[in-house]
Amino acid sequence: MKEFLFSASTCALQIEGARSLGGRSQSIWDEFTKRNYCIPPVGKAIREINSIEVAADFYHKYKTDARIMNKLGLNAFVYNMDWTRIYPKDEHYLNPEGIKFYIDFFSEFVDKNIKPIPVLFHWDTPLWAEVRGGFQNPEIQNWFRNYVKTCFKHLGKYTDVWFVSDENSSFTKDAYLSDYLPPQKVGKLNFVQALHNLNMIAAIAKEEFESAKLKGYVSKNAIIGVDHDWSPPIAYTDEKNDLQACQRYNEWNLELYLSPSIKGEYPKCYFDYIKKHNLNFEISNDDLVYLKNNKLDLIGWNYYRPVFITHSIKNFSNNDWHIPPQFNEELDLYYVFPKDQKYTKWNWLINPNRLVSGAQELCQMYGKNIPIMILENGMGDFDNKSADMILDTDRINYLSVHIQKVMEAKQKGINFIGYSLWTYCDIFSPSGGYRKDYGLVSVDFNSAIRERKPKLSYVWYKNVIKNKGLKLDFDMNQLVEELQKTLDEWDLFFK
C-alpha cells in the first residue's frame, strides 16, 4: 500500500437494516434477535438484544454516509458484508437486488475517493445454510465458494484489499462453546467442526481470489487476509507460572485462529483438544495440504484491550480487582482486572501498551514484513446526546493513545498498512444493543430517518487524518468551535 489507510469499520448486521427488503431472507442473527429480544433499564451497562430490522438504515442512507465520510476525510471504509442479501435462498440463487446494492454502494464510495474494504463473513450465517448444518457441515465450503466467486466477479474492480472473515475466535467460542451468540449450538465437537470449516473457507476464498486475478476481476496486486480479535496477554506477576499461562493463552487465542490461514497449519493445541475430549473428528490430509497451498496475505487485528493473566489468585483479595476474576478451566488460568487500571463504563480495560509489542509478536510469528491493519479499535460509551453538541472527550482520549501506538509501531518497522476505528456511526452492538455508543457520528434511533449528527470525535479524527496521524492533541476549545461550524453546515444532505 502506497498510502496509509485512515478508515472506519462497520458491519452489515449492525448498521445495514432493510433485513426484509431487496429480496433478502433471514439469517441466524434475525432469528436470534427476535427470539431473545430483551431491553434492560435505561443507562445500565447490561446487554440489550434489540431489533436489527432497520438498525442505522445504511441500506437506504449509504449515499448520505458516503458524503459524511468524504467530509471526514476517510480514504477507506471497512464493511462486513451480508452473505444472505446476495444468496437469500440457497447456494445457487443469486439475488440481483442484493448484488446490485453492493455494486451501487461500492461505486458510490469509490466516487468519493473512499476505498471499500470488504469482509466477506462476520458471524451472520444465512438461515438456509444454518438449517442444513451451518459451519458444522463441510458442505458450507461449497456454498461459500459460490458466494465469494460472485463477490470477486462483481465487486473486485472497486478495491484491492479484502478480508475473508472477522473475529472467528468470538464466533466459535461464543456460539459453540457458549450460547452467547447464535447459532447457540453448544458442544465441543460443534466447536472444532465450525473452526475447521471457517479455516477452509479462508483457503477457498484465497484460491478463488487468485482465479479472479487471472480473469481480470481483481487487480494483480490485490491482497486478502483474515481479521482476528486477539487481546494480547500481560502476565500479572513475573512468576514463571504466570508467564507459562500467557504462553498457553497465546497458543489457544492467537495461533489457533491465525496460523491455519497465515501459516497453513494448525497449532498442537487444536489436536490436543480433540484428543483430550475424545471428539469424533479427524482432518483429512487433503484439507491440511489445501490450507498449506492457500495461505492468506495479511492480518487484520481488532485491538480493543489486552488481558491480565495469572495462574492463581489465592494471594490476592477481592479488593484488588475492578470486577471479579474469570477462571478459564480449559487453560487453567485466571483473567484478572486490576483496580489500578482504567476502564470504560462497560468495564472494558483501557490500555494501549500491548499494541506495539503485540504487533512485533505477530511479525515474529508470521513474517517480518507481513502487512497488518488495525480493523477495529474503539470505545463503547454512554454518550450524552441531550445537549446541542455531543462532546465525547473520553472517546477522543481512548482513540488518541491507540493511534499514537500504531504510529510508533510503524516507526519501529511494523508494516501497518492502515488503521480503521470502530465505528463510523452508532449501531447495534451484540454486547450492548443501541445503548452502547461507538460512533464518531450519532444516530437518532428514535427518528424514522435515523438522522445523523457529528460528535466532537468526528472533527478530532478529521484533523488526525489531515495531518496523517502525526498530531493527536488538539486544543479543546478549537475543536468545539470546529464542531459548531460543522453543525452549522450540516444540511439535509448530511442528515
Q: pLDDT (tens digit, 9 = 90+) per residue, 371-406?
A: 999 999 999 999 999 889 999 999 999 999 999 999
Q: Which of the four pLDDT bands, split at 50, 70 and 90, describes residue 200?
A: very high
Distance in angstroms between the alpha carbons of the first and the last residue of the chain: 33
Beta carbons within 10 angstroms of residue 81's beta carbon: 24
The answer to whether the CB of 118 falls within 8 A of the CB of 161 is: no
**pLDDT of 42:** 87
Average confidence (pLDDT) over 354-370: 98
Answer yes or no: is pLDDT of 54 > 90: yes
Cis peptide before 183 (omega within 30 of 0): yes
Cis peptide before 423 (omega within 30 of 0): yes
Answer yes or no: is pLDDT of 83 > 80: yes
Q: Which of the four pLDDT bands, split at 50, 70 and 90, describes residue 43?
A: confident
Domains for the chain: give ranges and CATH numbers: 5-488 (3.20.20.80)
Average confidence (pLDDT) over 83-95: 98
Q: Which of the four pLDDT bands, split at 50, 70 and 90, describes residue 2?
A: confident
**pLDDT of 269:** 97
Q: pLDDT (tens digit, 9 = 90+) per residue, 121-176?
A: 999 999 999 999 999 999 999 999 999 999 999 999 999 999 999 999 999 999 99
Q: pLDDT (tens digit, 9 = 90+) per residue, 98-109?
A: 999 999 999 999
SS (H, E, C) the chain: CCCCEEEEEEEHHHHCCCCCCCCCCCEHHHHHHHHCCECCCCCCCCCCECCCCCCCCHHHHHHHHHHHHHHHCCCEEEEECCHHHHCCCCCCCCCHHHHHHHHHHHHHHHHCCCEEEEEEECCCCEHHHHCCCHHHCCCHHHHHHHHHHHHHHHHHHHCCEEEEEECHHHHHHHHHCCCCCCCCCCCHHHHHHHHHHHHHHHHHHHHHHHHHHHCCCCCCCCEEEEEECCCCEEECCCCHHHHHHHHHHHHHHHHHHHHHHHCCCCCHHHHHHHHHCCCCCCCCHHHHHHHHHCCCCEEEEECCCCEEEECCCCCCCHHHECCCCEEECCCCEEEECECCCEECCCCCEECCCCHHHHHHHHHHHHCCCCCEEEEECCCCECCCCCCCCCCCHHHHHHHHHHHHHHHHHHHCCCCEEEEEEECCECCCECCCECCCECCCEEECCCCCCCCEEECHHHHHHHHHHHCCCCCCCCCHHHHHHHHHHHHHCCCCCCC
Q: Which of the four pLDDT bands, split at 50, 70 and 90, describes residue 1?
A: low
Q: pLDDT (tens digit, 9 = 90+) per residue, 310-350?
A: 999 998 999 999 999 999 999 999 999 999 999 999 999 99
Average pLDDT along the chain: 97
Q: Which of the four pLDDT bands, split at 50, 70 and 90, describes residue 245?
A: very high
Q: Which of the four pLDDT bands, split at 50, 70 and 90, describes residue 97?
A: very high
Question: In which order are the strands placed within the sheet that holds 233-235?
Answer: 233-235, 307-310, 333-336, 326-328
268 Cβ contact partners less than 8 Å away, ≥ 6 residues apart: 251
Average confidence (pLDDT) over 33-47: 93
Average confidence (pLDDT) over 209-231: 98
- Model-level pTM? 0.97
Average confidence (pLDDT) over 260-280: 98
